[in-house]
Amino acid sequence: MSQLDMFGPPPKPAPRLPTAEDVRPELIEVLDRLRGSETMPLSPKDVRFWRTVFPQMSRWLPDDERVAMCAAFAAELSRLEKRAVA
């Protein structure tokens, strides 16, 4: 038995934190899907999910981009929800 075996396997490396380049494409994809729709393209469950996750993911963006994307997301959800009620 080697000395390393006494202490178990080596620790796993820390997970890599996301970057703006990691999250931007997915946020843009969600926004484009909303912008390109005349009716709500998301299920109520997906709307709840994205209302929570979109702002969290946007934290990895530069502040000005984060604010702009979150405002656009909120505006598109509002536009589509108004159409559903009307």
pLDDT for position 9: 81
- Give the sign of the dihedral formed by CA 49, CA 54, CA 59, CA 60: positive
Lowest-pLDDT range, 48-52, 56-60, 71-75, 81-85? 81-85
Instruction: Quote the pTM value.
Output: 0.82
**What average pLDDT score do residues 8-21 get?**
90
Q: DSSP string spanning 67-82?
A: HHHHHHHHHHHHHHHH
Q: Give the tens place of pLDDT for each residue, 32-67.
A: 999 999 999 999 999 999 999 999 999 999 999 999
Q: What is residue 61's DSSP assignment?
A: S
